Structure 1
Amino acid sequence: MLDQAVGDLELSVRHKDESSYEHAIGSVWEAAQQAPQADLDAAVVRIAALLGEMPVDVVGRLPVLGGALVELGASPRPLVPMIVTGLIDTLRRVGTFIETWPKGEERPDFTGDGYDNTVRVLSKVHSEWDAHSVAFAWYAVGAWSAPAIAVLQHAEVRADLPNRDALTELVDRLGPLREDLGFLVELLAVLDNEPFVVLHRASGQGYELTVSGVGGNFQLQTLLAATLIGSEGDGLIAGTPPDPVWVAAATDGDLTPPGGISGQFNLVDHTGSWIWGEGRPADIPVLDGRRVVLLEPQPYPRRWSPGRLFERMRPTVQLDRILPSVEVAAWLTRLSEEPR
Structure 2
Amino acid sequence: MLGQALDSLEQSVRQWDQDGYEEAIRSVWEHAQQSAPAELDAALPRIAGLLGTMAVDAVGRLPVLGGALVELGASPAPLVPMVVTGLVDTLRRVGTLIETWPKGEERPDFDGDDYDDTVAVLSRTHTEEDAHAIAFAWYSVGTWIAPALAVLQSGEVRSALPNRDVLTGLVDRIGPLREDLGFLVELLAVLDKEPFVVLHRPTGQGYELTVSGVAGNFQLQTLLAATLVGKESDGLIPGTPPDPAWVAAATDGDLKPPGGIEGQFNLVDHTGSWIWGEGRPADIPVVDGRRVVLLEPQPYARSWSPGRLFDRMRPTVQLDRILPSAEVAAWLTRLG
TM-score w.r.t. length of structure 1 = 0.98
Query: Residues of 2 paired with 1:42 and 1:116: CA distance?
Result: 40
After superposing on structure 2, the runs of 4+ consecutive aligned residues of structure 1 that deviate more than 6 Å are none
Aligned to 1:43: 43
| 1:148-198 Cα shifts (integer Å, max 9, x gaps) | 111000001001000000000000000000001111111111100000000
Aligned to 2:322: 322
Equivalenced residues, count: 336
Query: Residues of 2 paired with 1:154 and 1:182: CA distance?
Result: 18
Query: Residues of 2 paired with 1:315 and 1:89: CA distance?
Result: 30
Aligned to 2:271: 271
Query: Residues of 2 paired with 1:36 and 1:222: CA distance?
Result: 34
Aligned to 1:115: 115
Aligned to 2:17: 17
Query: Residues of 1 paired with 2:103 and 2:192: CA distance?
Result: 42
Opposite residue 304 of structure 1, the aligned amino acid is: W
Q: Conserved in 2, the CA contact under 8 Å of 1:250 and 1:308? A: yes
3-state SS of 1:78 partner: helix
| 1:99-121 Cα shifts (integer Å, max 9, x gaps) | 11122322111112111111111
Query: Residues of 1 paired with 2:8 and 2:300: CA distance?
Result: 60
Opposite residue 171 of structure 2, the aligned amino acid is: V
Query: Residues of 2 paired with 1:62 and 1:183: CA distance?
Result: 21
Query: Residues of 2 paired with 1:100 and 1:323: CA distance?
Result: 55
5 Å-filtered alignment, 1:169-248, equals 169-248=169-248
Shift of the alpha carbon at 1:235?
0.5
Query: Residues of 2 paired with 1:178 and 1:277: CA distance?
Result: 23
Query: Residues of 2 paired with 1:321 and 1:105: CA distance?
Result: 57
Query: Residues of 2 paired with 1:236 and 1:204: CA distance?
Result: 10
| 1:26-48 Cα shifts (integer Å, max 9, x gaps) | 11111011200110011101000
Query: Residues of 2 paired with 1:85 and 1:155: CA distance?
Result: 19
Query: Residues of 1 paired with 2:333 and 2:106: CA distance?
Result: 56
| 1:301-333 Cα shifts (integer Å, max 9, x gaps) | 111011000111000000000111111111100
5 Å-filtered alignment, 1:73-88, equals 73-88=73-88
Shift of the alpha carbon at 1:133?
0.6
Query: Residues of 2 paired with 1:86 and 1:22: CA distance?
Result: 19
Q: Conserved in 2, the CA contact under 8 Å of 1:80 and 1:151? A: yes
3-state SS of 1:306 partner: coil
Opposite residue 292 of structure 1, the aligned amino acid is: V
Aligned to 1:58: 58
Unaligned runs of 5+ in 1: none
Q: Conserved in 2, the CA contact under 8 Å of 1:102 and 1:125? A: no
Query: Residues of 1 paired with 2:298 and 2:103: CA distance?
Result: 49
Aligned to 2:294: 294
1:313 to 2:313 alignment: yes
Query: Residues of 2 paired with 1:17 and 1:105: CA distance?
Result: 39
1:97 to 2:97 alignment: yes
Aligned to 1:4: 4
Could you tell which deviates more after superposition, 120-129 or 164-173?
120-129
Shift of the alpha carbon at 1:276?
0.3
Aligned to 2:132: 132
Q: Conserved in 2, the CA contact under 8 Å of 1:64 and 1:143? A: yes
Q: RMSD over aligned Cα, in angstroms?
A: 0.6
Opposite residue 145 of structure 1, the aligned amino acid is: I
Shift of the alpha carbon at 1:73?
0.3
| 1:78-133 Cα shifts (integer Å, max 9, x gaps) | 00001000000000000000011122322111112111111111111111111101
| 1:257-314 Cα shifts (integer Å, max 9, x gaps) | 1111000000000010000000000000000110000000000111101100011100
Query: Residues of 2 paired with 1:284 and 1:106: CA distance?
Result: 36
Query: Residues of 2 paired with 1:247 and 1:18: CA distance?
Result: 48
Aligned to 1:71: 71
Opposite residue 162 of structure 1, the aligned amino acid is: P
